[in-house]
Structure 1
Amino acid sequence: MFFPYIKDIASTEITTLSINHTIGEAIQTMIKSDHRSIVIIDGHFNHILLAQDILTLNSDELDLDLPISEAVIHRLPKINQEKNILDAIHYLQEPIEYIATTDDEGNLVGLLSHSDLINSTDPEILMESYTIGDVVKSQKNDIWVKSTDSTEFVLKKMKQSDKDCATVIEDGIPVGVFTIKDVLRLYRDHNDIQLPISNYMTQPVEVLTASSSVKQAIEFIKSKPFKRLIVVNLEQQMIGMILQKELISLAYNNWSSIMKQHQQELFEINHLLSEQADRYKHLAAFDPLTKLYNRYKFIELYATESLAMQQRQHAMSIIMIDIDYFKKINDEYGHNTGDDVLRITAETLKKPIRNVDIVCRWGGEEFIVLLPTVDEQQAMLIAEKLRLAIEQETFPQGLRVTASLGVCEAQDDEGLEEVVSRADYALYQAKKQGRNRSVLFKQ
């Protein structure tokens, strides 16, 4: 089997800007170059500014004259362009989807992305019988909105969920998408975010049916400049999305299977693949910062626990937790302190709960706790224990950290999306009532 060199698959079309340029210039450059990222040159270091990071700066009036240094920029890992593609796989554990490729002198010569990895994958080695519907059928964490929803509402949902795309749905059918590119144009043109999202969404929507094979999905995404596929059933109703990284995972697992059939001849490569597979499994289940389960693993665990609770006719509840004024902590004390706060909060949340309870990092400064066999009244007592534990915890630099919590009990046959929506509403009420409190969702 042929494993290409990094130099054969990395993109050499790099858009760069000095760190002294403004956010407005960065947005304009992204739109002009049709790139979702820009390499930021800062002396001997290379960073990357992602279009998604522009969204985190969203406010009532985004100041386009702010320097790029005010945005969240990420240090780029490096790999020599003469390395093999297998040497790059462990970089998939990094939260950034880009790797700087360098020559022997360490000079930047290209960028390696998930897209490049997808485009280097031979579709013939993929499982033709494995359908896209099998991948997305349990995933309910993408953002679905209506065409009449305000743009401000959609931006808020994208920001809260840490997503760079929302799908506009009417009667279950996708009629438009609102991506980070649309967000950039929105900011550049100073458009009115009170208007319905239908004014700014991209349409029509290109979709793939759930019965399509992984091979067909790979070929489709190769032919389109997409980071994700929208998957529909035969009635054209949306089922969900599949990301490039999920396709990479499927392709990589199949590589491992093929290598095992040639164990004698390719023992060293097979050993490397086995090690990387273990790392990737861990990456797929755990948040690297807090060591808690991540959102994808929580979705899987919720489905299992929900079925078990229904069969045994037991109650089940969830608690949504959001650290109060977390952005202020990052702004005043720096992101390293912010990361410390997240790690300590994660450890604090694990102490008062039972072994059967499940706690995960939902995204950003949000956490979620699943409580099997617990009704809403019991869940409120647990929520208060968690809130007090956080309030009384010792944090760096003498910080006093508090959290707001939303509690709700899952109903029979209710999907995770609906439960989270109700818990999120209770969390919103907790913040509205002054923060540092627990609120139970009430009909």
Structure 2
Amino acid sequence: MLTKVAFGKVKQPQPVRSQSQVSQLTSSRDLSRSNTLTEVLQTTLDTHQLLSVYADFLKTRLDVEALQFVSDDQLFSLIGDFDQSQIQHAVMLYADQAYLGQLVYGLKRPLTVTQKLRLEQWHRELTFPLRNALKFSQLHRLAVRDHLTGLGNRALLEEVLEHLHIKQQRQKNGSHSVMLLDLDGFKDVNDEHGHQQGDDILRVFAELLRTTVRDSDQVFRFGGDEFVIVMEDTNLYQAQDVYNRIRTAVDSCDTLSRYGLSTSAGTAQLECFNTVEQSLDEADQRLYQAKHGGKNRHCGSVGCA
């Protein structure tokens, strides 16, 4: 059963295997700080890093076997694993009456009154830095999403490729590919039927790409009718297989077939000695080669098909 607990009031723990409470902060003015934790929490706006700092602080002060933070759209495992022998203690966090998420603790034994008071104080210190981090994360997600298709935009693409490039330089192995695609004949359809119909077609194509590629692949809208697929641990022959799946899906799509649309693509391998921009430029050159060699095909350094 979920009970509401006001800060500063103590309630004896019930002799059950599960404890729950609500940490309700009605105003940021209510925040009481202990410099040790609060100052450290204010050093980052990265949600996972902030929660990890909290977990590290907690581990030295409380016997916690497992800890998770669960929000409406995210889950962070911070300490250990849960099992049936543990007592679960769940705390719902609010900041200025806005629900942030829930901390779920896995404990060997019920919390004492003193431990619950300490935990409530730590929740006070965590809540508003956590709210700021979650807001920052939400704004970042909005900033890197294409508003038309919901896919990652060019800014997120460059971020992902830079991360992959650094990883490749460090590991000195792995074969990663980047594929640039567009819709053959899209400009004519857009000019003839209008931008609203063109937008609908782009949404259909974006969803087709998202559902056709492998689970490990990432799809981005590059601009206009151009899209990019980042494929980790994928050589050019495997990239051709991915393209074949996409081409088959396009041929089977009623909306795209109605307008006589097909897709061409060019793929480049990410190389540790090339920059991200150079890899994208090579993929663009391969796409140009595919379109000017007959369209509805894929080109890479090993040839076109």
Question: What is the CA-CA distance between 1:277 and the residue it aligns to?
Answer: 5.0
Task: Give the one of 160, 165, 173 matched to 1:301.
Answer: 160
Instruction: Letter of the 1:317 partner, please give it.
Output: S
- 8 Å Cα contact 2:264/2:291 also seen in 1: yes
State yes or no: 1:441 paired with 2:298.
no
SS state at 1:395 partner: helix
Instruction: Letter of the 1:362 partner, please give it.
Output: F
SS state at 2:212 partner: coil
Residue 134 of structure 1: aligned partner: none
Q: Which has the higher contact order (CA 8 A, sep 6+)?
A: 2
Residue 393 of structure 1: aligned partner: 253
Q: 5 Å matches for 1:156-305?
A: 280-305=139-164
Distance change (3 Å), C-alpha of 1:314 and 1:277? closer
Question: What is the CA-CA distance between 1:398 and the residue it aligns to?
Answer: 2.7
Question: What is the CA-CA distance between 1:383 and the residue it aligns to?
Answer: 1.4
Question: What is the CA-CA distance between 1:340 and the residue it aligns to?
Answer: 0.8
Question: What is the CA-CA distance between 1:326 and the residue it aligns to?
Answer: 1.4
Residue 360 of structure 1: aligned partner: 220
Residue 410 of structure 1: aligned partner: 270
**Structure 2 CA distance, aligned partners of 1:318 and 1:396?**
24
Question: What is the CA-CA distance between 1:393 and the residue it aligns to?
Answer: 1.3
Question: What is the CA-CA distance between 1:381 and the residue it aligns to?
Answer: 1.4
**Structure 2 CA distance, aligned partners of 1:354 and 1:442?**
22
**Structure 1 CA distance, aligned partners of 2:133 and 2:238?**
44
SS state at 1:351 partner: helix
Distance change (3 Å), C-alpha of 1:397 and 1:406? closer
SS state at 1:287 partner: coil
Deviations 1:283-309 (A, max 9, x none): 311001010000001111111122334
Question: What is the CA-CA distance between 1:351 and the residue it aligns to?
Answer: 1.9
Instruction: Letter of the 1:306 partner, please give it.
Output: H
Q: Which structure has more strand as a fraction of its residues?
A: 2
Deviations 1:39-63 (A, max 9, x none): xxxxxxxxxxxxxxxxxxxxxxxxx
- 8 Å Cα contact 1:406/1:441 also seen in 2: no
Q: TM-score with structure 2 length normalisation? A: 0.52
Residue 280 of structure 2: aligned partner: 420
Specify every segment of 5 or more residues in structure 2 that has no aligned partner in the other structure, as ranges: 1-130
- 8 Å Cα contact 1:306/1:316 also seen in 2: no
Q: 5 Å matches for 1:148-163?
A: none
**Structure 1 CA distance, aligned partners of 2:188 and 2:177?**
30
Give the ranges of 4+ consecutive aligned residues of structure 1 lying more than 6 Å apart after TM superposition. 272-276
- 8 Å Cα contact 2:182/2:227 also seen in 1: yes
**Structure 1 CA distance, aligned partners of 2:179 and 2:288?**
13
**Structure 1 CA distance, aligned partners of 2:251 and 2:234?**
24
Question: What is the CA-CA distance between 1:382 and the residue it aligns to?
Answer: 1.0
Percent identity, aligned pairs only?
Answer: 31
SS state at 1:330 partner: helix
Instruction: Letter of the 1:436 partner, please give it.
Output: N
Question: What is the CA-CA distance between 1:391 and the residue it aligns to?
Answer: 2.5
Deviations 1:199-243 (A, max 9, x none): xxxxxxxxxxxxxxxxxxxxxxxxxxxxxxxxxxxxxxxxxxxxx
- 8 Å Cα contact 1:320/1:366 also seen in 2: yes
**Structure 2 CA distance, aligned partners of 1:274 and 1:426?**
41
Q: 5 Å matches for 1:136-147?
A: none
Question: What is the CA-CA distance between 1:388 and the residue it aligns to?
Answer: 2.1
Instruction: Letter of the 2:246 partner, please give it.
Output: L
- 8 Å Cα contact 2:149/2:206 also seen in 1: yes
Task: Give the one of 343, 351, 367 matched to 2:211.
Answer: 351
- 8 Å Cα contact 1:309/1:373 also seen in 2: no
Question: What is the CA-CA distance between 1:422 and the residue it aligns to?
Answer: 0.8
| CA root-mean-square deviation | 2.6
Deviations 1:98-120 (A, max 9, x none): xxxxxxxxxxxxxxxxxxxxxxx
- 8 Å Cα contact 1:320/1:367 also seen in 2: yes
Deviations 1:239-287 (A, max 9, x none): xxxxxxxxxxxxxxxxxxxxxxxxxxxxxxxxx9999756532331100
SS state at 2:254 partner: coil
